[in-house]
Structure formats: structure tokens, C-alpha cells
């Protein structure tokens, strides 16, 4: 049986971060994130985090540091509201990388849908039943390209783009309410 999932961006969706973050001690969850994830799990969604991590390509930290940050996020979410994150996928590649091995335009780098497609293959996901939530248009573009419904997190009107989000919400708890209403209506 195909499953459904929520694809979540990491930075400024789950955690406060406007730059490159490779130190787990600096992880700070956004308000309401643990409870929102617990609610999404309760209504039948797997939780998948998909994140561009260009800081690896820029040599600011390594892939192991990203894994440690993700472990810290998982721990804070679990202890903060009982929610569980199923998987983390990240793209360390960037076309302007300083580190040679990461210099390329990779199909996992959002706005490309590679991470979502890989997760769907790995976990047996029904992409039209899934949602992608993030704070950047590249998140919405990746979700759209993978065939998911999308929610852009923003405090203002979304910018004009070739791909518009299905919904707009100020934060993850509000996005969770949108999804919960859709589930209850069907």
C-alpha cells in the first residue's frame, strides 16, 4: 500500500537559520514544530526533511556535521512534542562549490525534485497524496515537480513566480491546520 508523507524544508521551516548551520548546539526549533509534527504523524503522514546544504559544498562543515544537526533536530522534536521524523535527505552539492567533489548541479538540489523522488522510491510514497512545505519558492517548485501539494511559509504575500503554492501559511502549525482540515473533509 502506498503511503503519504509531508516533505519539510529544514531552515526557517523547522529551525531558525538564515545561514549555514553545521553545529548541533546552535539548533533552535521554530515555535510549535514538535506539536505540528506529532499532529501530522497522528493523521497518517510520514515526515521527511529535504534540505539543500550548500555549506558542505562551500567547505564550512562536512556531511557528518549535517547528520549531527539532523540528530539534534530529531531529538528536540521527539522530546518537545512526541513527534517523529522518518527520514532526512540533504543535498551537499552546489554549482559554485569551493570543494571540488561537491561542484555540480545535482538532481537533488532544490528546486529539482530529486530528494522527494528518492524518498518516494525508498518509502513507497504516493506523491499526489503528499505535501511539500517550505519557506522558499524552490521548495514549492520541487514539490510541484514531484507532483505533491504545496504550502509556502511566509508572513507576507508570496512573490510572483511561475509556480504558485497551493496554500500559504505563516508557520508550520498553521500549515498543519490546513492539511488537517483537508484530511477531515475527505
Which residue among the candidates 9, 65, 135, 171 is catalytic per the annotation? 9
Which residue among the candidates 11, 65, 139, 171 is catalytic per the annotation? 11
Alpha carbon 133 to its chain's center: 6
Q: Which of 6, 113, 138, 10 is nearest to 70 (CA)?
A: 10
Hey, which residues does 13 pair with through a beta bridge?
none
C-alpha cell at 29: 526549533
Long-range contact pairs involving 101-105 (C-beta distance under 8 Å, separation at least 24):
102/56, 102/57, 103/57
67 is catalytic: no
Contact between residue 8 and residue 45 where contact means Cβ atoms under 8 Å apart: no
CA gyration radius, the chain: 16
Contact between residue 167 and residue 151 where contact means Cβ atoms under 8 Å apart: yes
Q: How far apart are CA 66 and CA 45, in angstroms?
A: 24
C-alpha cell at 126: 504516493
9 is catalytic: yes
C-alpha cell at 95: 554549482
Catalytic residue numbers? 9, 11
Amino acid at each position: 500500500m502506498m503511503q503519504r508523507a509531508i516533505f519539510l524544508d529544514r531552515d526557517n521551516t523547522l529551525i531558525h537559520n538564515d545561514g549555514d548551520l553545521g553545529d548541533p548546539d546552535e539548533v533552535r526549533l521554530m515555535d510549535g514544530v514538535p506539536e505540528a509534527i506529532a499532529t501530522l504523524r497522528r493523521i497518517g503522514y510520514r515526515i521527511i526533511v529535504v534540505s539543500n546544504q550548500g555549506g558542505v559544498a562551500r567547505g564550512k562543515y562536512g556531511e557528518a556535521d549535517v547528520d549531527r544537526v539532523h540528530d539534534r533536530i530529531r531529538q528536540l522534536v521527539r522530546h518537545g512534542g512526541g513527534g517523529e521524523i522518518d527520514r532526512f535527505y540533504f543535498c551537499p552539492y552546489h554549482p559554485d562549490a569551493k570543494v571540488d567533489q561537491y561542484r555540480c548541479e545535482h538532481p537533488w538540489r532544490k528546486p529539482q525534485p530529486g530528494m522527494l523522488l528518492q524518498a518516494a522510491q525508498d518509502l513507497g510514497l504516493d506523491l499526489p497524496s503528499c505535501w511539500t512545505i517550505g519557506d522558499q519558492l524552490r521548495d514549492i517548485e520541487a514539490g510541484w515537480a514531484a507532483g505533491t501539494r504545496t504550502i509556502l511559509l511566509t508572513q507576507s504575500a508570496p512573490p510572483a513566480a511561475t509556480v504558485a503554492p497551493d496554500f500559504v501559511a505563516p508557520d508550520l502549525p498553521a500549515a498543519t491546520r490546513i492539511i488537517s482540515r483537508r484530511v477531515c473533509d475527505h
